[in-house]
């Protein structure tokens, strides 16, 4: 939670206040850094083994995930140029609903009336929060919601293309295989959109020490997320994420002087309660499934 908060606030400061207004370049730099560190750890220090994944399998399973991951990171970082950290965190309450509906499309989730109603309540809450947003900028909102859709799709693809096919990856392996795939898809928009702007900006001063520190934080965040899911579950991460979102909303108010209105809070509280109900339902389902498995094992 601490690393995640640090990376979000760090990215916001770099993109909105330091003069480096290039979200694609920043995201690509993160992927290059993560790829380099993961490669050194695997090939030089032999921290973990490489998977026996043929090139055809890599192209069909990892590259699609890298494409959606690249789009998600690019657009979410771009949203920081237009929207406040507080409002962006409020919109992230939509993630469970998006994962649920995308999961139905990809048949990784089953339709359930109560769950669907819960998701619509979350959507209503976020809509109220958006209506109460003072600095509502359409381009930023479109970028943020598109980033959430791409991220939800990526999570479903991870389950379909990686987990269901027996490719269990540890944190270093995940970065080793996914980061270069993500970087490949970021390279084209960087070369065509942002690089000409960077070359033409004679006043731009790149502080490599700051960018190195920022990329180190991003690498540690990726490790922390994979480790947390490995030691607990994605549900635990989602519950912790709700607490983190509240902390970020208050932190951004004080650090960046973001204005949060009554409607912002009202809408987010509605979405927050609905997300809490969803997490509780998922927790009960997980416990029931665990008991069923234990009973099945005892009967054998």
* Overall size of the chain counted in residues: 300
> What does each of the 300 residues of the chain score in pLDDT, given as a tens digit?
889 899 999 999 999 999 999 999 999 999 999 999 999 999 999 988 888 888 999 999 999 999 999 999 999 999 999 999 999 999 999 988 998 999 999 988 889 898 899 999 999 999 999 999 998 999 999 999 999 999 999 988 988 877 777 777 888 888 999 999 999 999 999 999 999 999 999 899 999 999 999 999 999 988 887 677 666 665 566 667 777 888 898 888 888 888 899 999 999 999 999 988 888 888 888 788 888 888 887 776
- How far apart are alpha carbons 270 and 127 in whole angstroms? 10
Residues ≥6 apart with Cβ < 8 Å to 63: 181, 184
**Planar angle of CA 254, 123, 95, nearest 5 degrees:** 70
Burial 209-247 (b: 16+ CB within 10 A, else e): eebeebbebbbebbbbbbebeeeeeebebbbebbebbee
Of 160, 88, 172, 169, nearest to 129 by C-alpha is 88
Q: At 134, phi and psi to the nearest 5?
A: -75, -50
Question: How many CB atoms are closer than 10 A to CB 14?
Answer: 21
Kindly state the DSSP code that residue 135 receives in the 8-state scheme.
T
Contact 247, 89 (CB under 8 A): no
Alpha carbon distances (Å) from 264 to 124, 135, 137, 192, 247: 12, 11, 15, 37, 15
H or E element, residue 296: helix 262-299
Domain boundaries, the chain: 2-299
């Amino acid at each position: 939670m601490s690393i995640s908060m640090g990376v979000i606030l760090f990215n916001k400061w770099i993109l909105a206040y330091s003069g480096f207004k290039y979200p694609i370049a920043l995201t690509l730099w993160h992927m290059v850094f993560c790829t380099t560190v993961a490669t050194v750890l695997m090939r030089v220090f032999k921290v973990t083994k490489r998977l026996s994944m043929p090139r055809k399998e890599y192209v069909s399973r990892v590259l699609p995930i890298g494409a959606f991951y690249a789009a998600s990171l690019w657009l979410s970082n771009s949203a920081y140029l237009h929207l406040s950290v507080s409002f962006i965190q409020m919109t992230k309450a939509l993630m469970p609903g998006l994962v649920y509906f995308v999961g139905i499309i990809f048949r990784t989730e089953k339709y359930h009336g109560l769950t669907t109603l819960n998701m619509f309540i979350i959507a209503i809450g976020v809509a109220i929060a958006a209506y109460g947003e003072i600095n509502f900028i359409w381009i930023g909102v479109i970028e943020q919601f598109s980033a959430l859709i791409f991220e939800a799709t990526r999570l479903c693809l991870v389950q379909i293309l990686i987990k269901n096919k027996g490719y269990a990856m540890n944190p270093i392996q995940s970065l080793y295989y996914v980061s270069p795939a993500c970087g490949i898809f970021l390279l084209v928009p960087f070369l065509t959109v942002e690089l000409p702007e960077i070359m033409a900006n004679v006043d731009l001063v790149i502080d490599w020490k700051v960018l190195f520190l920022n990329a180190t934080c991003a690498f540690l965040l990726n490790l922390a997320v994979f480790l947390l899911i490995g030691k607990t579950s994605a549900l635990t991460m989602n519950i912790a994420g709700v607490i983190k979102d509240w902390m970020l909303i208050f932190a951004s108010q004080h650090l960046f002087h973001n204005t949060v209105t009554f409607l912002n809070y009202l809408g987010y509280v509605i979405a927050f309660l609905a997300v809490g109900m969803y997490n509780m339902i998922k927790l009960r389902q997980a416990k029931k499934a665990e008991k069923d498995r234990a009973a099945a094992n005892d009967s054998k």
